[in-house]
Amino acid sequence: MLKVSSEWKDYECIDAGNGEKLERWGEIILRRPDPQAMWETKFDKAWTKVDGHYHRSNQGGGYWDFQTKLPEYWTVSYKDLTFKVTPTNFKHTGLFPEQATNWDFMMNKIKEANRPIKVLNLFAYTGGATMACAKAGAEVVQVDASKGMTQWAKENMKLCNLEDRTIRFIVDDCLKFVEREYRRGHKYDAIVMDPPSYGRGPNKEVWKFEKNIALLLEACLKILSDKPIFLLINSYTTGVSNVVLGNMLKTSMLPIYPNGKVETGEVGLQITKNDLILPCGIYGRWESND
């Protein structure tokens, strides 16, 4: 199933093609590489009138070319959530707008539960899912190996006016943290994770999606409560099908929690110039039927 984040007002995917995408973040126009945009498009004047253009380097990585002096950061809002945005050295901006469809799903499930919900957000990055779940009324523990991204998430908490909510920010290796939570006897009603293709923990722990995802999922099952409401996996790992995520959830979750269903698919963004969709990643989720 394809999920498209179509309710943005502060974000717009204007055009995409030739390996790049043209985006509006608030009032600022950015041009960035996107390997999924393999089709041809005409580079019209809109592609040249940008505030920032990220160029790929033949040696790997790349650099920003700014035609406008941008502020150190600015903000964009999605419904009643507000996030800090700024171009990073790795072409990213600190936010993945296609994930808004998952935020909506999680917020709805938390509100429908009509009871206290505790959420664990793994590989939390700048805390988009954390803020969505906290805004919906959940207690959230978010874990990420990066101190910098965790600090960014704390800034997003303030921008969303969520300082009065129960949010714990943990800098740690996600798998080690989950294993410790099991030994402590801590339980969660919902888990969301966005594991990278490759990464390192704060103590140089190596993470490889294909090697470690099954182990992490197994560990997460041990800390789910008796009545969980969802378990959501996001992935941007090239070559991994959403069917794989579905098979993993069906063989691990359904035997333990049969009163639920598994759904998988892609997340994407509507391109406003035409009727095309820019695919941005995959998801797999188990959700309760209660």
Let me know whether 29 and 125 are in one domain. no
Claim to verify: residue 58 and residue 7 sit in the same structural domain: yes
**Domain match, 52 and 109 both:** no
Of 67, 62, 64, 68, the residue nearest 87 (C-alpha):
64
Q: Are 207 and 199 in contact (CB under 8 A)?
A: yes
Last residue of a domain, one of 85, 114, 131: 85
What CATH number should be reported for the domain holding residue 50? 2.60.40.1180
* pLDDT tens track for 114-171: 999 999 999 999 999 999 999 999 999 999 999 999 999 999 999 999 999 999 999 9
Tell me, yes or no, whether 59 and 202 share the same domain: no
Range in 55-59, 93-97, 198-202, 221-225 the model is least confident about: 198-202
Question: CA 23 → CA 16, 42, 45, 47, 52, distances in Å?
Answer: 9, 15, 14, 10, 10
Range of the domain at 274: 97-288
Query: Mean pLDDT over residues 201-214, rounded?
Result: 83
Distance CA 77, CA 84 (A): 9
Tell me: do 148 and 279 sit in the same domain: yes
Q: Give the Cα separation of 102 and 186 in Å (integer).
A: 25
Same domain, 105 and 248: yes
Neighbours of 118 (CB within 10 A): 18
Main-chain phi, psi angles of 79, to 5 degrees: 55, -120
pLDDT in tens, 36-80: 999 999 999 999 999 999 998 877 789 999 999 999 999 999 999
Distance CA 76, CA 52 (A): 17
Q: Given a cut of 80, is residue 219 above it in pLDDT?
A: yes
Q: Rounding to the nearest 10 degrees, give the CA dihedral for residues 36, 42, 46, 47.
A: 50
Do 118 and 138 contact (CB within 8 A), yes or no? Answer: yes
Q: Using the 3D structure, point to which of 25, 54, 85 is the last residue of a domain.
A: 85
Per the domain annotation, does 92 fall within a domain? no
Q: Considering the entire predicted model, what is its pTM?
A: 0.95
